[in-house]
């Protein structure tokens, strides 16, 4: 599942896992739907990543889940809205083909939309009264889609699925899709952000590689030392600058005891001394040392990730970039490693973020849709799609092992997820995107050296406060 650069707090529910799983399906789950005809599916496509024969063998080797929700007795189409790469779309087509053998009356049809257009498209569709049955949902959209009545609660369906395994997810992974004790999505992928580094650049400079003993101060020091060259051949010590985004707090501010917004997201806290202390080294790294790409330099690189194009020595990113790093070739290919996030004076922090799939409020076939959703997000489904990393803890180690990674990589990732990574400080309010867009205007001036940091933080505070009052 795709994660943009820029993809959870304790599970906000009144139901314990034990209580939820012990519920019975008190609400009747009717399978009635309009009669329709299902045409035979054509043989799905394949590519080098997903040969069809291997996909079929793998699919049939997995233990696909069952649910007490009744199968449809009439041919039923379930529409699934996704944002996918070419590889992912091929895998989805193969899934739909094999799934039909298990559920002959269910046909899956996909709506594929680019990530950039997705949120606007389905908020508009919801306002018009029409939605697909199932939707992909990025963590930063979750509360927006819930608030706008796009996603429906799924608790009655979870209760009707005894082997669902709610405790197979960390509380952080699930928390973005919870409101007022109800669950509105099943997490698909869920990853901590970690410190990636270019081994070749460290070796050429004669410097020791980062490890879990590193502090942010150490990173700033080494980033300056590793910066060299100019123009399109420049190598940056680090990429990229902090952004006024949803995960600014856990990546850059909590290590210093600071926050973008208060925990209840009602006040801006950027003018506190801790926030100034946390962000001053970053502005120095950009303005004084030019050790991270400027806005203009990113434009010259056509917004390609400098780390993944062999132009940066270090980067904080999610484990989801691992497959992309493995596919690098030619001049972009390099030997890479990862380690735990650096520590700050207040400790070590990382956001655990990802995506989910949910049932729409306009689903025409909610029972059949649940059968599809339950399979997609089951242990078998997360193995089949080889999510990196999956949100289900039971599949985490094996999915990473399938990538033929050094055991230390999977071990470090699991330590982050089960240790210090979480959702504290990750913005999730309905107006998060508006807050981000508003703050970016001033933050870009600070990054360019056109506005002192303290003045910039004061202006962002003044500009964002009325938005919080709207919410």
| Distant-in-sequence, close-in-space partners of 451: CB < 8 Å, separation ≥ 6 | 442, 445, 459
Q: What is the pLDDT of residue 233?
A: 87
Q: What is the pLDDT of residue 3?
A: 43
Give the alpha-carbon dihedral of 353, 303, 258, 340, to 10 degrees.
60
**pLDDT tens, residue by residue, 355-371:** 999 999 999 999 999 99
Mean pLDDT of 257-286: 97
**pLDDT tens, residue by residue, 195-247:** 999 999 999 999 999 999 999 999 999 999 999 999 888 999 999 999 999 99
Residue 271 pLDDT exceeds 80: yes
Give the alpha-carbon dihedral of 176, 178, 179, 185, to 10 degrees.
100
Residue 40 pLDDT exceeds 90: no
**pLDDT tens, residue by residue, 417-459:** 999 999 999 999 889 989 999 999 999 999 999 999 999 999 9
Which pLDDT band holds residue 31 (cuts at 50, 70, 90)?
very low
Domains 17-191+353-420 and 192-351+422-470 in one fold: yes
Average pLDDT over all residues of the chain: 90
Q: What is the pLDDT of residue 28?
A: 38
Q: What is the pLDDT of residue 287?
A: 96
Q: What is the pLDDT of residue 302?
A: 81
192-351+422-470: which CATH number, 3.40.190.10, 3.90.1150.10, 3.40.50.300, 3.20.20.70? 3.40.190.10
Residue 21 pLDDT exceeds 60: no
**% of the chain exceeding 70 in pLDDT:** 92
Q: What is the pLDDT of residue 100?
A: 95
Q: What is the pLDDT of residue 32?
A: 42
User: 91-118 burial by CB neighbour count: b if 16+ within 10 A, else e?
Assistant: bbbbbbbbbbeebebbbbebbebeeeeb
Mean pLDDT of 117-134: 95
Q: What is the pLDDT of residue 283?
A: 97
Q: How far is 394 from 173, CA to CA, in rounded Å?
A: 14
Q: What is the pLDDT of residue 471?
A: 62
SS3 364: coil
Mean pLDDT of 288-305: 90
Q: What is the pLDDT of residue 440?
A: 97
Which pLDDT band holds residue 13 (cuts at 50, 70, 90)?
very low
Mean pLDDT of 77-97: 92
**pLDDT tens, residue by residue, 377-419:** 999 999 999 998 999 999 998 999 898 988 888 899 999 999 9
Could you tell me whether strands 76-82 and 106-112 are parallel, antiparallel, or unpaired per DSSP bridges? Answer: parallel
Q: How far is 198 from 210, CA to CA, in rounded Å?
A: 10
Place of tokens 């867009």: 437
Task: Indicate the domain borders of the chain.
Answer: 17-191+353-420, 192-351+422-470
Q: DSSP per residue over 313-362, as a string?
A: SEEEEEGGGHHHHHT--GGG---EEEEPPPEETTEE-EEEEEEEEEEBTT
Q: What is the pLDDT of residue 35?
A: 55
Q: Which CATH architecture has domain 17-191+353-420?
A: 3-Layer(aba) Sandwich (3.40)
Mean pLDDT of 146-171: 95
Q: How far is 183 from 111, CA to CA, in rounded Å?
A: 24
Residue 194 DSSP label: E
Mean pLDDT of 134-159: 96
């Amino acid at each position: 599942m795709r994660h943009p650069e820029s993809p959870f707090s304790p599970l906000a529910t009144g139901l314990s896992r034990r209580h939820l799983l012990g519920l019975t399906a008190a609400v009747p789950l009717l399978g009635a739907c309009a009669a329709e005809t299902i045409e035979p599916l054509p043989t799905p496509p394949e590519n080098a990543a997903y040969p069809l024969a291997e996909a079929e063998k793998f699919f049939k080797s997995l233990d696909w889940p069952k649910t007490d929700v009744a199968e449809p007795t009439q041919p039923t189409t379930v529409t699934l809205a996704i944002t996918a790469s070419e590889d992912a779309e091929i895998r989805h087509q193969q899934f739909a083909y094999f799934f039909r053998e298990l559920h002959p009356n269910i046909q899956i049809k996909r709506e594929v939309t680019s990530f950039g257009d997705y949120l606007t498209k389905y908020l508009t569709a919801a306002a018009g009264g029409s939605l697909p049955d199932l939707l992909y949902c990025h963590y930063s959209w979750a509360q927006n889609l819930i608030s706008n009545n796009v996603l429906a609660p799924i608790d009655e369906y979870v209760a009707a699925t005894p082997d669902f395994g709610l405790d197979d997810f960390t509380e952080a992974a699930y928390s973005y899709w919870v409101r007022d004790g109800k669950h509105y999505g099943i997490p698909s992928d869920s990853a901590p952000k970690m410190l990636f580094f270019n081994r070749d650049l460290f070796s050429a400079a004669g410097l020791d590689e980062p490890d879990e003993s590193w502090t942010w101060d150490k990173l700033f020091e080494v980033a300056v030392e590793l910066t060299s060259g100019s123009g399109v051949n420049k190598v940056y010590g680090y990429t990229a600058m902090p952004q006024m985004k949803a995960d600014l707090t856990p990546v850059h501010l909590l290590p210093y005891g600071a926050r973008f917004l208060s925990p209840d997201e009602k006040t801006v806290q950027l003018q506190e001394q801790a926030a100034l202390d946390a962000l001053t080294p970053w502005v120095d790294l950009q303005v004084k040392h030019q050790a991270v790409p400027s806005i203009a330099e990113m434009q010259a690189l056509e917004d390609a990730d400098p780390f993944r194009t062999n132009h940066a020595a270090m980067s904080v990113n999610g484990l989801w970039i691992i497959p992309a790093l493995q596919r690098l070739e030619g001049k972009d290919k390099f030997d890479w490693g990862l380690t735990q996030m650096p520590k700050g004076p207040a400790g070590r922090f990382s956001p655990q973020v990802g995506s989910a799939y949910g049932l729409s409020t306009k689903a025409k076939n909610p029972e059949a849709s649940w059968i599809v959703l339950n399979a997609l997000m089951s242990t078998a489904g997360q193995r089949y799609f080889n999510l990196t990393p999956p949100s289900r803890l039971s599949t985490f180690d094996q999915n990473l092992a399938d990538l033929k990674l050094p055991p230390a990589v999977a071990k470090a990732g699991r330590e982050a997820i089960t240790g210090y990574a979480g959702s504290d400080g990750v913005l999730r309010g309905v107006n998060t995107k508006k807050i981000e867009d508003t703050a970016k205007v001033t933050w870009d001036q600070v990054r360019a050296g056109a506005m002192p940091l303290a003045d910039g933080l004061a202006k962002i505070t003044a500009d964002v406060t009325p938005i919080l009052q709207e919410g």
